[in-house]
Amino acid sequence: MSRFYDLASLTKPLVTAPLALAFLDLDADRRWALGFHDRESPLTVRQLLSHSSGLPPWRPFTGESVAMQLHRPVPEHPLLRPASPGLSTYSDLNYRLLAELLELETGVPFAKLGQAGGLNPAPWLSMAAEIPDGPDALAWALATEAPLPARDGSLPHDCNARAGMQGHAGFGTVAPQLCAALARWVASGWPDRMAVVSSGGENGTRWGLGLQVAFAGVGRFGQLLARIPSGFGLQVLEDSSEGIAPAAPPLDENQGPASGWWFHLGYTGPALFYRPSDRSCIGLLLNRRGAGGVLLDAEALRARRWAILAPFVGQSSG
């Protein structure tokens, strides 16, 4: 039986961004519709897709509007910090608001809209591998007195998604299903519309409308992917191991040139890479769980992704 995976934030490029591009005006001002009555500058779908809205990285999903939550002071925490002025700041809130706009525009529940992409919306009949709570569990307690949502194997792993935060998470898949979904995604032209540089972000990132540029500097995934010849096609790579992968090459401070690939990562482990020049696409399916069930930190997770990609790239490049 195929293993089931929680796609986490791959929901953003595979479900939410295509729906937004299909149904929403990219440049209309949506401040009022979303409750941002005291915001001085416009709030557009284009900003939300490219994480250039100026919203902070995270707030707990408690049923309150984002606008109301942002009026409440919060203590210091990496997820609760303000956005970096003038730079795209990756934020789950952007995609939560996109889901709200989609429901307002269409009158259809977000999960039902997203099913058209061929992935499974939560609650799931199959269960993804359980991983421990991450930093959002601590941030939840700092930002609200509402209780942390209970665990449920049929719901996504992270606390916000367990509370029903749509747009940034909530879909899962098995490997053959993801392969078919990616084929439809590429054929529809959605990633080509996403892979257009829109704004500069924190730490030198460059964002399009739902994907970010993969650079080719040492230790970056673009370094590996740049070796894949033109005309590669589509591949889903699966790794269900829970061992510790060998360390990936250390990240050079110089991010290097753009590799020609774009990408997105999922908190629970999966990753997605796309090259517009020949419409090549690679999906990674893995779990963010190490020996003894511990949650892999960001570097250990990068090492596991690298360990999956490196031998495959070697085979693909001949």
CB 141 within 8 A of CB 193: no
Same domain, 85 and 139: yes
Q: Which residue has the tokens 């709030």?
A: 43
For residue range 105-116, list pLDDT tens digits in order.
999 999 999 999
Count up the domains in the chain and report the number.
2
What does residue 100 show for φ and ψ, rounded to 5 degrees?
Answer: -60, -45
Same domain, 210 and 286: yes
For residue range 12-26, list pLDDT tens digits in order.
999 999 999 999 999
Q: What is the mean pLDDT of residues 132-143?
A: 95
Per-residue confidence at 241, pLDDT binned at 50, 70, 90?
Answer: confident
Which of 154, 170, 186 is the last residue in one of the domains?
A: 170
Which of 170, 196, 213 is the last residue in one of the domains?
A: 170
Same domain, 112 and 177: no
Same domain, 47 and 140: yes
Q: What is the mean pLDDT of residues 163-183?
A: 96
Residues contacting 170, CB < 8 A, separation 6+: 11, 110, 111, 114, 121, 122, 156, 161
The answer for 279, left when phi > 0, alpha when psi is -120 to 50, beta otherwise, is left
Which of 120, 150, 170 is the last residue in one of the domains?
A: 170
Q: Which domain holds residue 13?
A: 5-170
Same domain, 194 and 129: no
Q: What is the mean pLDDT of residues 153-172?
A: 93
Same domain, 12 and 122: yes
Please report the pLDDT score of residue 315 as a whole number.
81
Same domain, 136 and 188: no
For residue range 30-47, list pLDDT tens digits in order.
999 999 999 999 999 999
Please report the pLDDT score of residue 318 as a whole number.
61
Same domain, 234 and 139: no
Would you call 155 exposed, middle or buried from its count of C-beta atoms within 10 A (0-12, 13-18, 19+)? buried
